[in-house]
Chain A
């Protein structure tokens, strides 16, 4: 046996010198934070499906109104209260324009001699619900996004300052927050809406007026956690300025939580908008949002359930999608974070 070993040609071997530098080398390609998050969220089916649904809804919100030849604000009383009718599907016995009139089921399109197809039917002023629905989705999304971004900006700044500077500043700022938390949100939102000129911006302002508090508390907590950790201490020792510490060290670390939180703020804002519209404090006509559409539809639930169904469905879908994406992101970005 030993002879065999000796018989190996010398040049069959290479000498390896283990370099200390490579000792910690990771063979897989290095992933940054976001790539890593993506890898994890990709496994979350719910979140991925939700993402596609969300993208679809956002695209539809912009494209939808142009897919049909009807203007969302065009009042045409002779076409009022038509049920959905879709070419093709009508032969299957669904979406064929049949609706209840009194106790009978009749084809309202034939009754009213309407040639056009209204995919999702029309409302009580004869406006096309398909285009109105997507226009409304657009407005709801707009309100929600803007409100969420404002919440985030105020929340991050307030929470950041409070947490970073600590001491007296923090004490005062937290007392203010404590007072604000005691205010019943709904009450303030309603009062604000009543005082301001009605419109999209008053809704946004009313939603954000107390909405940022949650974000600020979370950001403060995170900043408090990180600011005493070694890497910040190290940076400080090396003479980094406050802005550098905040910008380079703290912000990237709390970003994940901020984003997760936004994903939960958006559906809250959508809900608030719909809620305000439902109690009649929402948008000025003729603008539509999902809330005003649901409010319109509620009155007709017995005979024209479609007027309620579509906006309620889209609203629920949006909320579910945002929540699932939020959940997914939370699991992916910060697996240790809980409710």
Chain B
């Protein structure tokens, strides 16, 4: 009796384990076979030009008029092409434009010749495609976030169309013929050509887009491409997609990769594990892994042009905050060790920032970095901080101050905020910091209503000019929201757009002056760090190009070499 029971049990377990083993084993057998196939088709000399990447978020949209986030613009940069493209040194080079444009003397009219290029369905790319795309992006019915943001105040009549005072056809872009495109601006824009590499300005084939209607760009089958790659196997919301080489691309000979597989992986540790197991070729490390991989030869450090800072709100709900006191602001600015923040807390290749306009971002015509025009401000100095603090407390007539820091609710943000709290409370006696951690869009709402004391915020550049950062803090800017206003600062910024517009060096000097007012004289904000990326990348991955603004990467020049 007893042994029979045991038998039943044993046999059951046996069946179960065989079942499991069979299922497990099947895939094991299949996996090497896949690899073998890859090798077989390409041979020794000619390796499989297949790259495996991850993204941290899905593609929200690759409709160039509607795209508004990093992933979307990155994909666009690799499947589409504008008049210009950023090259391997992130300098704008003619792409859909054939050679340099003719620029009128006042710098307001650009005449582009369009290259002989084709969409992936074989139709030629014409000047009309650009006109259609720009009009679509600025049309209020499209509800494009970036179209009006980038074009208003730059392209003729863009702002007026938004206000309903002008027709779409009045937009300052005209096709003289199929190959000639004329753009009219309202003010000289020194960075105009680099802006032409930005997704919002890419061409759209009117016939195709109209035919698809609402379905255009809702998945990879309802699009046509004029860039180095075509998007495939993207269902519109999925966590994976593929790029395959676009044979119709005008510069297809340069493109070496045949295929790029992309998966969305949101957990940093899962990404690292996948990298370690060779399933992906590149992964961005979070701080927890940075320490462990610091000496790894596969580490690549990349500096981004995203700058983070404290916005110090001087007036909250109609009442002056302690931060209205200049000495409080100056004390806080000097009371925490930015080096420690960058090296030990973030530990991802970020650097301490004592400036607003990022380094390695903008250059004058001779190639000199804007940072060489300006200086570093409000360096970490506990003694000075305490002096300012003592003065501040005296002026406020109190010995206890409570300040709230509003910040993000991501892992990284939380960690920083906890560190800020402990660092500031330790160095400034009598200061209590309350932390408020909220999701991104909640923070923005509080920002809009100026409902915070200190806000830990950041900004990434969309075009290559110091003004993209400096302009944030002029009076009445939607990004100001902290009751800061200095007429002198506003005047300097205005000058760079008008009188100095065609004099790059004088412009940079004006920006430098403005930066000094903001960060030293007024101490309106406290820069904290310029973000970096610490990346693990397989040594056989060659030729990746990272850009300081707009899209993050170009895959056009990438290739695989030396993969076993």
Query: Which residue of chain B lies nearest to A197 when distances are taken between CB atoms in the complex?
Result: B436
**Cβ B269 vs Cβ A299 within 8 A:** yes
B-chain residues with CB within 8 Å of residue A77 when the two chains form the complex:
340, 344-345, 419
The answer to whether A100 touches B292, judged by C-beta atoms less than 8 angstroms apart, is yes
Interface 9-residue window, one of A205-213, A243-251, A279-287: A279-287
Give the contacting residue for B435; candidates A80, A124, A125, A285; CB below 8 A: A285
A285 touching B423, Cβ below 8 Å: no
Q: Is A331 in contact with chain B by the CB < 8 A criterion?
A: no
A81 interface residue per 8 A CB criterion? yes
Pick from B286, B291, B340, B409: contact of A101, CB under 8 Å: B291
- A68 at interface (Cβ–Cβ under 8 A)? no
Per the 8 Å Cβ criterion, residues 172-215 of A in contact with B are 194, 198
**Interface size bucket, A side?**
20 to 34
B263 smallest CB distance to A (angstroms): 20
State how many angstroms separate the Cβ of A186 from the closest Cβ of chain B: 18
**A75 at the B interface (CB under 8 A):** yes
Q: What is the CA–CA distance of A284 and B436 in the complex, to the nearest angstrom?
A: 7
Q: Are A102 and B296 in contact (CB under 8 A)?
A: yes
Please name all residues of chain A whose beta carbon is closer than 8 Å to the beta carbon of B289 when the two chains form the complex: 302-303
**CB nearest to A280 among chain B residues:** B409
Residues of A within 8 A of B435 (CB): 284-286
Q: State in angstroms the CA–CA spacing of A226 and B286 once bound together.
A: 60
State the Cβ distance, A101 to closest chain B Cβ, in Å.
Answer: 7
B141 at interface (Cβ–Cβ under 8 A)? no
Name B417's contact: one of A81, A124, A285, A295 (CB within 8 Å).
A285
Complex Cα spacing A302 to B417, Å: 25
Question: Inside 8 A of B437's CB, which chain A residues have their CB?
Answer: 198, 284-285
Q: Is A74 located at the chain interface by the 8 A CB criterion?
A: yes
Question: Is there an interface contact between B293 and A125, defined as CB atoms closer than 8 Å?
Answer: no
Residue B394, interface by CB 8 Å: no
CB contact list, A95-148 vs B, under 8 A: 100-102, 124-125
CA distance A73 to B435 in the complex (A): 13
CB distance from B383 to the nearest CB of A (A): 20
| Residues on A with beta carbons closer than 8 Å to the beta carbon of B439 | 194
Could you give, for residues 382-419 of chain B, a 1 whenever the CB lies within 8 Å of some chain A CB and a 0 otherwise?
00000000000000000000000000011100110111
Q: Do B418 and A285 touch across chains, with their CB atoms under 8 A apart?
A: yes
The complex places the Cα of A194 from the Cα of B438 at a distance, in Å, of: 9
Chain B residues within an 8 Å CB radius of A298: 269
Q: Does B272 contact A (CB under 8 A)?
A: yes
Instruction: Decide yes or no: A299 and B292 within 8 Å by CB, A74-B422, A286-B435 being known contacts.
Output: no
CA distance A280 to B437 in the complex (A): 10
**Alpha-carbon distance A156/B360, docked complex (angstroms):** 66
Q: Which residues of A contact B293 (CB under 8 A)?
A: 102
CB-CB nearest in chain A for B291? A81
Taken together as a complex, chains A and B put the C-alpha atoms of A31 and B79 apart, in Å, by 82
Closest to B292 in A: A303
Instruction: Give Cα distance in the complex from A80 to B437, angstroms.
Output: 23
Q: Give Cα A303–Cα B288 distance, bound, in whole angstroms.
A: 9
Residue of A125, A299, A302 touching B286 (CB-CB under 8 A): A299
Closest chain A CB from B183 CB (angstroms): 44
Q: Which of A80, A102, A299 gathers most chain B CB within 10 Å? A: A299
Q: Cβ of B295: which chain A residues have Cβ within 8 Å of it? A: 102
Which chain B residues (412-445) contact chain A, with CB distance < 8 Å? Answer: 414-415, 417-419, 421-423, 435-439
A39 contacts chain B at the CB level, 8 A cutoff: no
Count of residues in B whose CB is under 8 Å from the partner chain:
33
Binary per-residue interface labels of chain A (286-301) against chain B in the complex, 1 for a CB within 8 Å, 0 otherwise: 1000000001001111
Q: Which of B269, B414, B438 contacts A302 (CB 8 A)?
A: B269
Question: Nearest A residue to B409 by beta-carbon distance?
Answer: A280
- Complex contact A299–B294 (CB within 8 A): no
Q: Closest approach, in angstroms, between the C-beta of B274 and any C-beta of chain A?
A: 13
Contacts of B286 in A (CB 8 A): 299
In the assembly, what is the distance between CA of A194 and CA of B344, in Å? 31
A101 contact set on B, CB distance < 8 A: 291-292
Query: How many whole Å from B540's CB to the nearest CB in chain A?
Result: 20
**Chain A contacts for B292, CB-based, 8 A:** 100-102, 302-303
Identify the interface centre among B268, B288, B293, B345: most chain A CB within 10 Å of its CB.
B288
Question: In the complex the two chains form, what is the Cα distance from A300 to B436 in whole Å?
Answer: 25
Q: Which residue on B lies nearest to A78, using beta carbons? A: B344
- Report A267-288 residues with CB < 8 Å from chain B CB: 280, 284-286
| Residues of B with C-beta under 8 A to A100 | 292
Bound-state CA distance A101–B344 (Å) is 15
User: Once bound together, how far apart are the Cα atoms of A101 and B345, in whole Å?
Assistant: 17
Q: Is B328 an interface residue (CB 8 A)?
A: no
Is B272 touching A125 in the complex (CB atoms < 8 A)? no
> CA–CA, A66 to B33, complex, Å?
59
Which residues of A are found within 8 Å of B268, using beta-carbon distances? 299
Q: How far in angstroms is the closest Cβ of chain A from B431?
A: 15
| A125 cross-chain contacts in B, Cβ below 8 A | 345, 415, 418-419, 422
* A78–B437 CA distance with the chains assembled, in angstroms: 25
Best-buried of B287, B296, B409 by chain A (most CB within 10 Å): B409
Which residue of B has the minimal Cβ distance to A100?
A: B292
| Residues of chain B lying within 8 A (CB to CB) of residue A102 | 292-296
Q: How far is the CA of A284 from the CA of B418 in the complex (A)?
A: 10
A88 to B: closest C-beta gap in Å: 28
Distance, CA A75 to CA B341, complexed state (A): 12
Bound Cα distance from A285 to B434, whole angstroms = 9
CA separation between A249 and B411, bound complex, in Å? 53
Distance of A140 from chain B, by nearest CB (Å) = 18
Q: Can you name the residue of chain B whose Cβ is closest to the Cβ of A80?
A: B344
Give every chain B residue within 8 A of A299 (Cβ-Cβ): 268-269, 286, 288, 411
Closest to B414 in A: A285
Residues of B within 8 Å of A284, CB to CB, are 435-437
Question: What chain B residues lie within 8 Å of A285 (beta carbons)?
Answer: 414, 417-418, 421, 435, 437
Q: Give, as a whole number of angstroms, the nearest-CB distance from B433 to chain A.
A: 10
Residue of A nearest to B410 (CB): A280
Which residues from B are CB-within-8-Å of A302?
269, 272-273, 289, 292
Interface flags for B292-316 (1: CB within 8 Å of A; 0: not) read 1111100000000000000000000
CA of A297 to CA of B222 in the docked complex: distance in angstroms?
A: 44
A81–B291 CA distance with the chains assembled, in angstroms: 10
Cα distance, A239 to B399, chains bound together (Å): 68
- Inter-chain CA distance A206–B554, complex, in Å, is 46
With both chains docked as a complex, state the minimum distance between the C-beta of B293 and any C-beta of chain A, in angstroms: 7
Complex CA distance for A80 and B294, rounded to whole angstroms: 15
Q: Report the separation of the CA atoms of residues A284 and B413 in the bound assembly, to the nearest whole angstrom.
A: 12
**C-alpha spacing A280/B409, complex, angstroms:** 7
A286 near B411 with CB under 8 A, answer no
What is the 8 Å Cβ interface bit string for chain B, positions 444-469, against chain A (1 contact, 0 not)? 00000000000000000000000000
Bound CA–CA A198/B435 (angstroms) = 11
Min CB distance A74 to B, Å, is 7
A156 CB → nearest B CB, Å: 36
CB-CB under 8 A from B345, the residues of chain A are 77, 125
Output the least CB separation between B283 and chain A (Å): 13
CA gap between A285 and B413 in the complex, in Å: 11
Give chain B nearest CB distance to A281 CB in angstroms. 8
Known: A102-B293, A299-B288, A301-B269. A75 touches B423 (CB 8 A): yes
Roughly how many angstroms separate A298 CA and B414 CA in the complex, as a whole number?
15
Closest 10 CB pairs of A and B: A75-B422, A299-B288, A77-B344, A285-B418, A303-B292, A286-B418, A285-B414, A300-B288, A285-B435, A102-B295
Q: A102-B293, A125-B419, A303-B289 are in contact. List 6 more A-B contacts (CB 8 A).
A: A77-B419, A101-B292, A102-B292, A295-B411, A300-B288, A303-B288
Q: List 25 A-B contacts (CB under 8 A).
A: A73-B422, A77-B340, A77-B344, A78-B344, A80-B344, A100-B292, A101-B291, A102-B292, A102-B293, A102-B294, A102-B295, A102-B296, A194-B439, A280-B410, A284-B435, A286-B418, A286-B422, A295-B411, A298-B269, A299-B268, A299-B269, A299-B411, A300-B288, A302-B289, A303-B288
